[in-house]
Amino acid sequence: MPEKKGNGKLAKDTERVVAAFKALSNETRLRVFEQIRMGLGQASLNEEMRPCVCSVASNFNISLSTISHHIKELRNAGLVRCERQGQTIL
């Protein structure tokens, strides 16, 4: 069936929603997302009030590399943005 005009945007929106749900389907990743969303780990917030990866990781009993992987999946789904400042990822 040929795609009607305007359905391309709907398909893109649907893809974004599916990617977000897929990223948040992992329980740990959902908890990481909630920590970032609520701004927890505030002892390590930078001047723009963004938590660094290490402060988010300190709230979990898993390795920093695992937290980084979860944040990468959230970033790929468009749920979070990351910025590197020196050796710190915000």
Contact assessment for residue 49 and residue 39, using Cβ atoms and an 8 Å cutoff? yes
Taking phi over 0 as left and psi of -120 to 50 as alpha, with beta for the rest, 16 belongs to alpha
The per-residue pLDDT for range 19-51, each reduced to its tens digit, is: 999 999 999 999 999 988 887 654 444 556 677
Q: What is the pLDDT of residues 59-89, one digit of tens each?
A: 899 998 999 999 999 999 999 888 777 766 6
The CATH code of the domain at 7-89 is 1.10.10.10
Q: Break the chain into its structural domains and give their ranges.
A: 7-89
Burial (CB count within 10 angstroms: exposed 0-12, middle 13-18, buried 19+), residue 31: middle
Q: Residue 88: beta bridge partners?
A: 85
Report field, pTM of the whole predicted structure over 0.95: no
pLDDT of residue 43: 47
In contact, 40 and 56? CB cutoff 8 Å: yes
